[in-house]
């Protein structure tokens, strides 16, 4: 370690000091409920590695600590080109960690979030790589139990898909967090037998891999709902919608394989990963040929798509309704629609986009509502550069040692282009819907900030368009909540029972049992407050991350719509 950096957290510095002379920490690259991942350099072998360490509140539990190391060492015995290798599992200076190979690139989840649905040929190869990795692990008696897009890394150098986090799901069973209702694995990927608590084997991993393929090809999960419990029930009781209906441009041979992985009865799925891998290899040439044929037949939309009378009237009617409803109810964010290039490329007559916008303006409808409706019809600007991935940066402070949870969340995304001020109200609507809070809006120049009222929370949103970019920053300070929890629970229960323990000491003529009992009560209330705060902090983390991404998507859509508006030329009024 070269020297302390004032921007580095105490957690980072403590871990770096523990590794002095062996590894040099570079930066944090990931964080989850079961640990923090750092990029580091192995000083002895002069290579980059990824190091995963247990959070302090878990490392303090001897059962969790030993199981963390045991699971890491078990996974370290796996040697396969599609499994992220584990080089070391150890404990130094009170820090518990394991060292993995560093995979340059992104996870499949990041790939889908930033660039949307994945090409079927690429999905087939990813699934085959993962099936190869899982099959190898299964043959050695190891079931992953937590297969999901986040645990599949795409190596930017070799193109291989590599699986990580073997054993983490089993480790979660040993943590005290399960008492708060934390689910093992991610609810979207859990097999029916995992939900019902039955035996888990290789076929559970195959089910989860089927969900991965479904998500990659369609951009949605087989089962989705606002409540985790509803998703779990659906895994057990409902049949997933056939993938070929959700992703109709995917070769049927591939969707049929994924649908089979998602069958409720494990006996009806592929019985092992070798069978799944063989099935995928057998259809590879067919999938490549079908996808190539589709691409050859695809033609780009004309620079300015022509709209039929019906579609033009639908757009104008939607824009008018949006304008009339705004102020009475929240204006929704536009959900960008898709257009069929085969149908629209053949149109030779109709209304140009400029005609539709001019007709709306003459009728007293603001152009921003027209652009909103156009986006919903899949009419995005033509000729613009490809959109850069939305990279969410987590600037949150590390968890408090005393509270056991993060009390200062900060997330940021920078979008290319400067968002027009006319669409700031769209962002405010998104904020209000996501937070369910009333706040104060302040505008300075072309930037604006939104602050929730102190009585409800402490969410702060800043939108800063400058220098050809727009920065979206969302933060929340949970210290007041933390103080209230610890003060209320410990003070209320501890103080309320103090009289009882004093009376007990007097009755027994011995203060020691009373003191021990009162101390035990304080420890229990402290632990309860930590658990409640941890659950609340994680829930807010998800809300704030999603809010930041929604705001960034809306900002990019508004920038795109503004480009479409500037790129259109005046045209005659829409008639008839």
Look up the CATH number of the domain holding residue 123: 1.10.510.10
Measured in degrees and rounded to the nearest 5, phi and psi for residue 459 equal -90, 135
Q: How far is CA 280 from CA 315, 348, 448, 545, in A?
A: 43, 42, 51, 35
Of 101, 121, 152, the residue that ends a domain is 101
Considering the domain boundaries, does residue 96 fall inside one? yes
Q: How far apart are CA 14 and CA 37, in angstroms?
A: 14
- Do 487 and 575 reside in the same domain of the chain? yes
Considering the domain boundaries, does residue 84 fall inside one? yes
Q: What is the pLDDT of residue 375?
A: 73
Q: Residue 18's domain spans which residues?
A: 10-101
Q: Which residue has the higher pLDDT, 245 or 572?
A: 245
**pTM exceeds 0.75:** no
Residue 212's pLDDT band (cuts 50, 70, 90)? very high
Q: Name the residue with tokens 């059962």.
A: 63
CATH number for the domain including 87? 3.30.200.20
Considering the domain boundaries, does residue 303 fall inside one? no
Considering the domain boundaries, does residue 324 fall inside one? yes
Of 356, 380, 404, the residue that ends a domain is 380
Q: Which residue has the higher pLDDT, 422 or 271?
A: 271
Q: Find out whether 262 and 102 touch, Cβ atoms under 8 Å.
A: no
- Do 531 and 391 reside in the same domain of the chain? yes
Considering the domain boundaries, does residue 3 fall inside one? no
- Do 246 and 228 reside in the same domain of the chain? yes
- Do 361 and 394 reside in the same domain of the chain? no
Candidates 42, 146, 165, 423; catalytic one = 146
What is the arithmetic mean of pLDDT over 480-494?
61
Considering the domain boundaries, does residue 264 fall inside one? yes
- Do 429 and 473 reside in the same domain of the chain? yes
Considering the domain boundaries, does residue 4 fall inside one? no
Residue 538's pLDDT band (cuts 50, 70, 90)? confident
pLDDT value at 507 more than 70: no
- Do 556 and 428 reside in the same domain of the chain? yes
DSSP-H helix ranges across 363-455: 367-376, 424-435
pLDDT value at 4 more than 50: no
Give the highest mean pLDDT range of 158-167, 330-339, 440-449, 520-529. 158-167
Condensed to tens digits (0 to 9), the pLDDT of residues 228-239 reads 888 899 999 999
Average pLDDT, the chain: 77
- Do 325 and 259 reside in the same domain of the chain? no
- Do 85 and 115 reside in the same domain of the chain? no
Provide the domain count of the chain. 4
pLDDT value at 329 more than 80: no
Q: How far is CA 356 from CA 277, 308, 551, 556, in A?
A: 52, 11, 27, 23
- Do 176 and 290 reside in the same domain of the chain? yes
- Do 80 and 201 reside in the same domain of the chain? no
- Do 204 and 339 reside in the same domain of the chain? no
Q: What is the pLDDT of residue 569?
A: 35
Considering the domain boundaries, does residue 304 fall inside one? no
Residue 516's pLDDT band (cuts 50, 70, 90)? low
Residue 363's pLDDT band (cuts 50, 70, 90)? confident
- Do 211 and 225 reside in the same domain of the chain? yes
Question: Is 422 designated active site?
Answer: no
Of 101, 136, 165, the residue that ends a domain is 101
Q: How far apart are CA 377 and CA 42, in angstroms?
A: 52
């Amino acid at each position: 370690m070269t020297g302390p950096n004032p921007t580095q957290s105490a957690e980072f510095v403590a871990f770096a000091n523990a590794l002095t002379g062996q590894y040099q920490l570079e930066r944090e690259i990931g964080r989850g409920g079961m640990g923090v991942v750092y990029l580091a350099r192995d000083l002895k072998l002069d290579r980059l590695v990824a190091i995963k360490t247990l959070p302090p509140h878990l490392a303090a539990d001897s059962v969790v600590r030993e199981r963390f190391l045991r699971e890491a060492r078990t996974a370290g015995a796996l040697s396969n080109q599609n499994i992220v290798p584990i080089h070391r599992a150890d404990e130094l200076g009170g820090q518990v960690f394991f060292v993995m190979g560093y995979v340059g690139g992104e996870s499949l989840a990041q790939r889908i979030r930033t660039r949307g649905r994945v090409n079927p040929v690429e999905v087939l190869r990813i699934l085959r790589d993962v099936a190869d990795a899982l099959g190898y692990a299964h043959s050695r008696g190891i079931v992953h139990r937590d297969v999901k897009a986040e645990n599949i890394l795409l190596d930017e150098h070799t193109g291989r898909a590599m699986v990580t986090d073997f054993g983490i799901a089993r480790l979660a069973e040993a943590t005290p967090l399960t008492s708060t209702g934390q689910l093992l694995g991610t609810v979207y990927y859990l097999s029916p037998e995992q939900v019902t608590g039955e035996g888990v084997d290789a076929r559970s991993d195959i089910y989860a891999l089927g969900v991965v393929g479904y998500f990659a090809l369609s951009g949605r999960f087989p089962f989705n709902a606002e409540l985790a419990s509803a998703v779990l029930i659906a895994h057990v009781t409902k049949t997933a919608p056939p993938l070929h209906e959700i992703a109709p441009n995917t070769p049927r041979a591939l969707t049929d394989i994924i649908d089979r992985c998602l069958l409720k009865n494990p006996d009806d799925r592929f019985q092992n990963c070798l069978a799944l891998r063989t099935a995928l290899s057998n259809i590879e040439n067919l999938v490549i040929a079908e996808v190539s044929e589709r691409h050859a037949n695809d033609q780009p939309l004309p620079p300015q798509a022509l709209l039929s009378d019906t579609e033009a009237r639908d757009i104008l009617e939607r824009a008018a309704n949006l304008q009339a409803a705004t102020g009475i109810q929240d204006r929704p964010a536009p959900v960008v629609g898709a257009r069929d290039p085969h149908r629209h490329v053949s149109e030779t007559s109709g209304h140009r986009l400029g005609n539709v916008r001019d007709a709306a303006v003459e009728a007293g409808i603001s152009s921003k509502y027209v652009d909103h409706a156009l986006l919903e019809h899949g009419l995005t600007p033509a000729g613009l550069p490809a959109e850069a991935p939305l990279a969410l940066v987590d600037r949150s402070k590390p968890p408090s040692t005393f509270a056991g949870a993060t009390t200062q969340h900060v997330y940021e995304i920078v979008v290319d282009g400067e968002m027009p001020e006319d669409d700031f109200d769209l962002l405010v609507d998104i904020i209000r819907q996501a937070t369910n809070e009333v706040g104060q809006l302040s505008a300075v120049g072309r930037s604006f900030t939104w602050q929730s009222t102190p009585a409800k929370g402490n969410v702060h949103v800043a939108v800063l368009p400058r220098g050809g970019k727009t920065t979206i920053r969302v933060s929340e300070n949970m210290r007041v909540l933390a103080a209230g929890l610890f003060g209320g629970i410990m003070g209320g229960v501890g103080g309320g029972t103090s009289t009882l323990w004093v009376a007990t000491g007097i009755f027994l003529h011995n203060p020691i049992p009373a003191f021990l009992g009162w101390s035990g009560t304080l420890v229990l209330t402290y632990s309860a407050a930590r658990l409640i705060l941890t659950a609340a902090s994680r829930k807010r983390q998800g809300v704030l991350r999603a809010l930041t991404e929604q705001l960034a998507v809306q900002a990019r859509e508004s920038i795109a719509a503004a480009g479409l508006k500037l790129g259109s030329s005046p045209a005659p009024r829409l008639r008839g």
